[in-house]
Amino acid sequence: MKISVIIPLYNAEKFFGACLESLLIQTFTDFEVIVVDDCSTDSSATIAESYLKNFGGRMKIITLTENTGNASVPRNVGLEHARGEYVYFMDNDDLLIADALETLYNFAQAYRADVVYMERGFLCGEEFSAENLVVSAWDKTPTPIDEPMFETDELGGRVENFLQTRYGWAPWEKFVRRDFLVADKIFFPPIKISEDVLWTFKVICSAKKILRVPTPLYIHRSPKNSWSRTKRTPHDEIKFWLDPLIKGVDLLDEFTGSLKFFAQNVGYRFEVTNFFVKMQLAGMLGALDNFDNRELYEIIHREFSAGNGKHAALIANLIIFMNFYRNKLNG
């Protein structure tokens, strides 16, 4: 088996059939589809089952015992069951153009790449049509490439590119050699959001060969009711972004602490952590104005205390940083 396409599934009944249809028309057929259902409450699982016969034994459905809240665990479970030489993580409401898997596989083979990174792709609204497709860059690369090229193999350069958001975060931008992910234990962390940022950081720090390609192959749909866009109260919004802040900083510290490069370049270790923290603060920025410092302290203290309490001494400093960041952006 050359490729494993892994699709986390949760309440995507409106779009999932089209997603699977885009896989059925692939010009490359030596692939399997692994659907991991995160306890959907609509007809998504039934739709998945109706397609089993269409793939002629190349599709499997795994149903989790309880809902996990985001795509991390389903993706990890899919990776555990994957048999392909390469894995490709696809969202359940998106589509691939007909020769996408063939093109990605050929790039990976020709350049012996651990990762094939698509620098751009197609965007569309909820209702897909060829007329409303827009080609867009996933990242902030200043000069888009017009032919395949290797990313720098110098780790400092890759970290700089990460800090300048010259890599998109989404897993579906990356076609990855499975043995590399398994050997380096690169899995998605079980946090509410920004799990793809941490996963991408591990990938770019660990891969030997990353190939950037200019060819748009993926069609990303932007549903209006996606989980990250769910309307939340200001209190819940802060809690939502504190989860990746608290857990993500620990995970980053553990990972960077395991690499000699960051021991020798402590400044980069700080910059990466600072970048990640500011990203989570930006997410909760709109909610901060609803609370004074005392109320913020109570919310943050409660969330930090839910863990092992080892970050308790940082709460006051975090509030100071939040206020500084809020004032800087508003001023």
Range of the domain at 42: 3-227
Asked if 61 contacts 44 with a C-beta cutoff of 8 angstroms, the reply is no
Indicate the length of the chain as a whole number: 331
Residue 330 banded pLDDT, cuts 50, 70, 90? low
Q: Are residues 188 and 283 in the same domain?
A: no
Average pLDDT value for residue range 157-168: 96
| List of residues 6+ apart from 182 with CB closer than 8 A | 79
Q: Are residues 58 and 185 in the same domain?
A: yes
Q: Name the pTM for this structure.
A: 0.92
Residue by residue, DSSP assigns 230-278 as ----HHHHHHHHHHHHHHHHHHHHHHHHT-HHHHH-HHHHHHHHHHHHH
User: Of 166, 200, 227, which residue is a domain's last?
Assistant: 227
Cα–chain center distance at 253: 19
Which SS3 state, helix, strand or coil, does residue 249 take? helix
Asked if 230 contacts 283 with a C-beta cutoff of 8 angstroms, the reply is no
DSSP class of 64: -
Q: Are residues 70 and 165 in the same domain?
A: yes
Kindly report the CATH number assigned to the domain that includes residue 188: 3.90.550.10
Which SS3 state, helix, strand or coil, does residue 78 take? helix
Q: pLDDT tens across 34-57, in order? A: 999 999 999 999 999 999 999 999
Q: pLDDT tens across 83-136, in order? A: 999 999 999 999 999 999 999 999 999 999 999 999 999 998 888 777 778 999
**Which range, 188-202, 233-247, 269-283, is most confident?**
188-202
Overall number of domains in the chain: 2
State how far the Cα of 136 lies from the Cα of 138, in Å rounded to an integer: 6
Q: Are residues 100 and 187 in the same domain?
A: yes
Asked if 103 contacts 217 with a C-beta cutoff of 8 angstroms, the reply is yes
Cβ neighbour number for residue 83 with a 10 Å cutoff: 13
Residue 26 banded pLDDT, cuts 50, 70, 90? very high
Q: Are residues 199 and 237 in the same domain?
A: no
State how far the Cα of 220 lies from the Cα of 260, in Å rounded to an integer: 37
